[in-house]
Structure 1
Amino acid sequence: MSGIDNLPSLASVIATHGLSARKSLGQNFLLDLNLTAKIARQAGDLTGCDVLEIGPGPGGLTRGLLASGARRVLAIEKDARCLPALAEIADAYPGQLQVIEGDALAIDPLAHLTPPIRVAANLPYNVGTELLVRWLTPKEWPPFWQSLTLMFQREVAQRIVAEPGSKAYGRLALLAQWRADARIVINLPPEAFTPPPKVSSAVVHLTALPEPRFPADAATLSRIVAAGFNQRRKMLRSSLKGIAPDIEDRLIASGIKPTERAEQVSLEQFCALARAVLQP
């Protein structure tokens, strides 16, 4: 039996159900239940919360979330081979675990969740960034979630928390930090996983802000940031010339030198520019 519940070890579960990780699904399984419990704790106090989990696999993090006191866990799993193992967890936690088989990119989980809602997941590498962007760009803010506790490749995690002037700083950092507090809470080496990936991983915890950090129109900010970082080696007066014919004047009005490059510009300055661009 494991140390966090009365269910078998993850290694035993994987052997019993023949759950070899599939590269095509971006799977790398964490087998240390102490580690999955540690990740679950980073999601904060889960009592009274519904938790959305994407890609539970054999259920290591799922068990950590339930053992940490989550009111309910909604797990979305694309790999049908994992369903019997997840059903065993559901039996051990009656009424607390719902499993939906399918693609997380195609399923709207909100019909199955009751606020307050947190998201916690060891995200499959091949859909992780896309899901994060979706959660950060809803039509209305605040979003449905209070916090996101997500595992990524370490390189992606560093891009989420990056500061101006660093090589990792770009669109993902601005998107995350405009509407959330983001920090890396756990670093994981390849050998923590089965099979070991070729890269290190990290868990990022993002807490939704009640409103964006600085005022700006979301669509305008997105256009400016995309144009600036799509040609990040160019000066902004060149990379942003398609945004407005008098872009140099608007850059100066926003406190940005037209000769700066996107990676040198802070989130606050980008938001000021987004406001300036909309002025007559």
Structure 2
Amino acid sequence: MADKGLGQHFLLDLNITRKIARLAGPLEGRPVLEVGPGPGGLTRALLEAGADVTVIEKDARFLPILNDLTTVSEGRLTIQMGDALKVDEGALAAGAPLTIVSNLPYNVGTALLIKWLTGPYRPASMTLMFQKEVAERIVARPGDDAYGRLAVLAQATTQAKIVMEAPARAFTPPPKVDSAVVRLDPLPDRPPTPLLAALERVSQAAFGQRRKMLRASLKPLGGADLCAAAGIDPVRRAETLTLDEFMGLAQAVLVAERHGEK
């Protein structure tokens, strides 16, 4: 029985789970992290693909099923009970780059993605199932209705692409919306940590009041003066800015802070 409070919708169709594993591959001999395996539908496909899989599961009801998989996985399945938002991914793989492949629980999918995009641990790649609406937000471009903070952070750190769609009927129980798989591969020139932290603040402020002009939405960070420093018209709105323009604003924030300005 799925727990709505945990955002659980399970993928049990092996044709679909095998396709997700292929989209994440090649996985032979590679360390893979899966969050929220539930009854292990995707886990089976990952093991079948030859991966060394670590699963993080919060719902103890699935432990017996996952333990059964452990006995037939020839030592390639490790189970960790707990909250994925609190897990130290680096400790799980002893510093090795993990490939993250998951049908993420709906209620924590976005929070987990932001953790993996901006946190200290950098996955080798991520192949993640989200609600279709969230997937579209990740890959959205300036001017799109779905364009927002998630797109800015994802595209500043990864190359993100929707690689598969899945109808609601593919899940047990069926959710009220369709889903999609996003493949995210890290960019070689990821922004340094201070710049990425500034980008988080700028994008959060700008899209937190997206109907306002930048001079108003960015007022806590410098408003019109900040825009002028980045060469951006302060009467524009957040959804019109390109990623490079957001990066320029983030850089301007760092410069202002170095000079003790507000």
Q: Same fold (TM over 0.5)?
A: yes
* Cα distance between partner residues in 2 of 1:204 and 1:165: 21
Q: Which amino acid aligns with 1:268?
A: D
Q: Secondary structure at the match of 1:105?
A: helix
CA contact (8 A) 1:215 1:271 kept: no
Q: Which amino acid aligns with 1:152?
A: F
Q: Which residue is equivalent to 1:202?
A: 180
Query: Is it true that 1:124 corresponds to 2:102 in the alignment?
Result: no
Alignment of 1:29-44 (within 5 A): 29-44=10-25
Q: Which amino acid aligns with 1:137?
A: T
Q: Which amino acid aligns with 1:48?
A: G
CA deviation string 1:228-278 (max 9, x = no partner) = 11110111112112212xx43442443322111000001100111222233
Q: Which amino acid aligns with 2:203?
A: V
Q: Which amino acid aligns with 1:87?
A: N
* Cα distance between partner residues in 2 of 1:164 and 1:254: 18
Q: Which residue is equivalent to 1:27?
A: 8
CA contact (8 A) 1:214 1:271 kept: no
Shift of 1:92: 1.4
* Cα distance between partner residues in 1 of 2:7 and 2:134: 15
Q: Secondary structure at the match of 2:251?
A: helix
- Larger-gyration structure (1/2): 1
CA contact (8 A) 1:30 1:36 kept: yes
Q: 2:199 aligns with which of 201, 221, 233?
A: 221
Q: Which residue is equivalent to 1:168?
A: 146
Query: Is it true that 1:152 corresponds to 2:133 in the alignment?
Result: no
Query: Is it true that 1:83 corresponds to 2:63 in the alignment?
Result: yes
Shift of 1:79: 1.5
Shift of 1:78: 1.3
Q: Which amino acid aligns with 2:145?
A: K
Q: Which residue is equivalent to 1:272?
A: 248
Q: Which runs of 5+ in 2 are unaligned?
A: none
Shift of 1:211: 2.6
* Cα distance between partner residues in 2 of 1:100 and 1:250: 45
* Cα distance between partner residues in 2 of 1:251 and 1:144: 31
Q: Which amino acid aligns with 1:187?
A: E
* Cα distance between partner residues in 2 of 1:68 and 1:160: 27
Q: How many residues align?
A: 255
Q: Which amino acid aligns with 1:206?
A: L
CA deviation string 1:106-134 (max 9, x = no partner) = 33243231523100011111111111111
Query: Is it true that 1:188 corresponds to 2:169 in the alignment?
Result: no
CA contact (8 A) 2:33 2:98 kept: yes
Query: Is it true that 1:239 corresponds to 2:217 in the alignment?
Result: yes
CA deviation string 1:190-225 (max 9, x = no partner) = 101111100111111101122326997122222211
Q: Which residue is equivalent to 1:10?
A: none
Q: Secondary structure at the match of 2:162?
A: strand
* Cα distance between partner residues in 2 of 1:206 and 1:120: 10
CA contact (8 A) 2:213 2:234 kept: yes
CA contact (8 A) 1:216 1:272 kept: no
Q: Which residue is equivalent to 1:97?
A: 77
CA contact (8 A) 1:49 1:116 kept: no
Q: Which runs of 5+ in 1 are unaligned?
A: 1-19
What TM-score do the two structures reach when normalised by structure 1? 0.86
Q: Secondary structure at the match of 1:27?
A: coil
* Cα distance between partner residues in 2 of 1:144 and 1:48: 19
Aligned-residue Cα RMSD (Å) equals 1.8
